Amino acid sequence: LAKTTQPISMDSYEGQEVNITCSHNNIATNDYITWYQQFPSQGPRFIIQGYKTKVTNEVASLFIPADRKSSTLSLPRVSLSDTAVYYCLVAPQGAAGNKLTFGGGTRVLVKP
């Protein structure tokens, strides 16, 4: 499974846009990029998944450049409740069996 690198932490303010970039230089052709959000004492929650270009849902957008060696999770107009740890994962779709490797994640602190 491809190794990922993310910033350890980021601070932001309410109403701002937060962009978290994840590096995955050895991503494989059949790998997809998935982001999870985790609040304290809860399990991670699936946010968004993509393969290339841009994916958007009601929560976030995911930007993936053509070489796919990095990806950026964009959280528009964050609120205090978006304070959490965000994990970037790279793994093949349709892979038999779950053995996802979570990295250290990015701790996002949203200030008032």
Candidate residues 67, 81, 99, 112; the one interacting with other proteins per rule CB under 8 A = 99
Query: Smallest Cα–Cα separation from 104: which of 49, 23, 47, 13?
Result: 23
Nearest-approach distance from CB 92 to other proteins, in angstroms:
8
Using the rule CB under 8 A, give the single segment among 2-10, 33-41, 54-62, 73-81 that binds other proteins. 33-41
Going by their DSSP bridges, the two strands 31-38 and 18-23 should be labelled as unpaired
Candidate residues 4, 6, 34, 70; the one interacting with other proteins per rule CB under 8 A = 34
Which structure tokens are listed for 79? 């609120």
Contacts of 27 (CB under 8 A, 6+ apart): 2, 33, 68, 69, 90
Q: How far apart are CA 10 and CA 90, in angstroms?
A: 21
Q: How far apart are CA 103 and CA 111, in angstroms?
A: 25
Using the rule CB under 8 A, give the single segment among 16-24, 41-49, 55-63, 71-79 that binds other proteins. 41-49
| Contact track, other proteins, 69-88, x by CB under 8 A | ------------------x-
Please identify, using beta-carbon distances, which residue of 40 and 112 lies nearer to other proteins. Answer: 40
Candidate residues 20, 60, 75, 91; the one interacting with other proteins per rule CB under 8 A = 91
